[in-house]
A and B are shown apart, each in its own frame.
Chain A
Amino acid sequence: MKKVNMLLLTAVTALSLTLAGCSGAKNEPAAADQGDKKDKVKVRIAYWNKEESVKTLLDLVKEKLPNIEVEYQFIDNKQYQNIIETQLTAGAGPDIISTNPYTASRYAKLGYIKDISSLADRYNDGGKNVYSVDGKLYALPGISWFEGMFYNKEIFDKLNLKPPTTFEEELALHETLKKNGIKPQAMGAKSWEPMMKSSMAFVMNDFLAKPENKDFDVQYAEGKTKLDGNWNTAIEKWSELIKKEYLTEDMLGIDYDQALDEFATGKAAMWQSGPWAVETIQKKNANLKFDMFPFYGTEPGAGWLIGGPGVGFAANSNSKHQEEVMQVLDLISTPEGQQAFWNDNKGGSSYLKGVEFEMPEQFASVSETLKAGNVYAPWNNWGNASNVIEDYGKYFQYVLSGKMTVTEALQAIDKKTAELIKAKAE
């Protein structure tokens, strides 16, 4: 009998040890800091970028809001949405949630995040619109991101080349470079992103910027219109880049890092990317002189950059510290807050009214484009269909390898969009 008792005891102890991991941990910190300073409230903020990318901002919060202790939680981008969504479903989650436009609108509809329209007036429309649902603001538009065409100034000077002002000039530029034995542009087309962005940027110039197509993206999100039949002419024109072999099948075997290497070491004269790449380029080749020009269409103009508001900060509607959360969001929505945020994200611009930053020299040639506000990413307005961009890019890989025509690719993308919209149209 004694032995049975012993065994039972062992089993129960082992079991309790196993299950102990499931509970407890979460509640402990709150109890622990009660003795510390009773007024200090802990506000948890989750983001998919490392703490360094918001460090100055966090320091500012610490300085300006002594009653709040910010707990920063980094979650890797690949797992971010998954983890946050599980927490939100359980009625928990961080107090301040970093989102992108599509998830923000989804969370808003599900009631996970709070209406923060009281701060809306401080931001200009470009940033506000993508984070609004039914005219109500649900997340603060962060520092913008954009992507244009970096070019190697030395190579351009040596061959007497100037940044283009139209797509035709850009093609001619490619030709001259190619004739001189220089790879015109590097592209890490192994990823689905660069071709997707490059082609959409042309569509933005030649199709979406026209007044009659102002509502195209919104209608596309609702399934009322299609890419096939609308984008064909523009994309066919863009595909001159492929037909003239400036973009080649080779590039499907090159990834982002390798393309960056080619540009940084002067093997290729141009490369399409954004502010986040500057530091790495300079690390690889400190002497490289480079600048950026925007994407152009057939008509001359200011050109367009692909991009939009970066991360959006939203307030969890289940947070226990609503007031403190609003204090933090309020601080971010001041020129001081934006400056602190920008400090670790140089190159982007702020959507807060009246705030402008001095651009680093690498972006001199896109200043006109930025001033004109020509920064846009169509899929930010595609709602439930915005995830289709990955398929978009993948079908364009088939176009580059000659397995699909432009029309076939657009039709395949439309099919996927229909699937995405239909399944979630409740």
Chain B
Amino acid sequence: MNTKMRLLKREFDYQILILPVLIFYLLFCVYPFLSTFYYSFTDYSNMKLTNLKFVGLENFIGIFDSDLLMISIKNSIIYALLMTVFQTTLGLILAVFLDRKLKTKNILRSMFFLPAVFSPLIIGYLWSYLMSTSDFGLINSAITALGFEKINFLGNPDLALYSVVVTQLWQWTGWAMVIFLANLQSIPKDLYEAAEIDGANSWRKFWKVTLPLMQPSVNVVAVTAMIGGLKVFDIIFALTEGGPGNSTETIMTAYIKTVFNEGFYAKGAAFGVVFFIAVMIITMVMMSFLRKWGENTR
């Protein structure tokens, strides 16, 4: 009895220390989050800030009627899928390659990781000059010098989104590589020795030993790439501002435009709610898929 009481009191002592952070969290995170749900059912806009009316599902229906919002959903999904698949595979290839005994190993590792250090805004500025079609565009100068036609990387509506993906793969693959490297180094060497004794070549060793044991890091990289991809904003903002036309508008840029430029607060809130639910479902499906894969390979 006495020990139980003491234990309880001790727990209480510790938990009271959480209080300030908890209040901060409730006030600045949970409360705004919940109010988004509330506003999504009202007619809140920059012309109507008080006396809000309940409008039911009108805002949610409005999403499907808006070209901008629909295109942005499509673009975000393409972007997130490409980022997830390529960041994971390219990162994995780089990591396996740079895990070998190379003299230039450390230099190469730092070089691949370096772009991740910079802010996407700087990267965006840099690449918009590199990919420009003006005479100052470095890549296009090289292409024309070789006698080919200029490629309109950021100005062609069919190409712009993929150009953005390329810059982001360039920036973030090194980051994925680092995570994979950490995981690779934790795989016991004796497993490889055992596989060699069984006569496995390096290809089989990769598939049967390395990859299954990489599951935890693949999990982390894939899920963060997916979520990060769905809510991409900064690089679009710096590189294309959603253009040309709406061809690189993503969920977040469209959200900002709807709420802050056009003043449709409630509609933006509804879009935010839909986005939240969608990300939650996608993440859950992905996690369970990756978990199953982990279980099967073990």
Contacts and interface: CB of A to CB of B under 8 A. Distances in A.
A397 interface: yes
Interface stretch (A29-37, A41-49, A252-260): A252-260
Contacts of B260: 81-82
Interface stretch (A8-16, A59-67, A361-369): A8-16
Nearest to B257: A390
Contacts of B294: none
A110 interface: yes
B183 interface: no
Contacts of A262: 134-135
Contacts of A391: 68
A90 to B, nearest CB: 10
Given A249-B156, A420-B262, A190 B243 contact: yes
A252 B154 contact: yes
A258 B129 contact: yes
B245 interface: yes
A384 to B, nearest CB: 7
A179 interface: no
Contacts of A197: none
A423 B245 contact: no
A250 B137 CA distance: 11
Contacts of A255: 128, 132
Interface in B254-268: 257, 260-264, 267
Contacts of B240: 190
A241 interface: no
Contacts of B135: 262, 267
Interface string A395-426: 10110110110000000100100011001101
Q: How large is the interface on A (under 10, 10 to 19, 20 to 34, 35 or more residues)?
A: 35 or more
A215 B241 CA distance: 34
B109 interface: no
B48 A426 contact: yes
Contacts of A158: none
Interface residues of B, number: 46
Interface stretch (B16-24, B166-174, B199-207, B219-227): B16-24
Given A258-B136, A398-B244, A426 B47 contact: yes
Interface in B111-153: 128-129, 131-137, 150, 152-153
A252 to B, nearest CB: 3
B66 interface: yes
A92 interface: no
Contacts, number: 127
Interface in B240-298: 240-246, 257, 260-264, 267
Interface string B34-76: 0000000000011111000000000000000011100000000
A18 interface: yes
Nearest to B237: A78
Given A89-B49, A390-B261, A395-B245, A18 B152 contact: no
Interface string A172-192: 000000000000000001111
A106 interface: yes
B241 A191 contact: yes
Contact of A249 (B49, B129, B155): B155
B262 A254 contact: no
A423 B267 CA distance: 10
B13 interface: yes
A398 B19 contact: no
Nearest to B23: A15
Contacts of B67: 412, 415
B155 A11 contact: no
Contacts of B212: none
A10 B154 contact: no
Interface string A42-85: 00000000000000000000000000000000000000011001
Given A18-B23, A397-B244, 16 more contacts: A3-B13, A4-B13, A11-B16, A15-B20, A110-B47, A189-B155, A252-B152, A252-B154, A253-B153, A258-B134, A267-B135, A397-B245, A398-B245, A401-B245, A424-B46, A424-B48
18 contacts: A3-B13, A8-B16, A18-B20, A189-B155, A190-B128, A190-B155, A190-B241, A190-B243, A192-B241, A251-B133, A253-B133, A258-B129, A258-B134, A261-B136, A390-B261, A397-B244, A401-B155, A426-B47
In order of increasing CB-CB distance, the 4 nearest A-B pairs are A252-B155, A253-B155, A253-B133, A397-B244
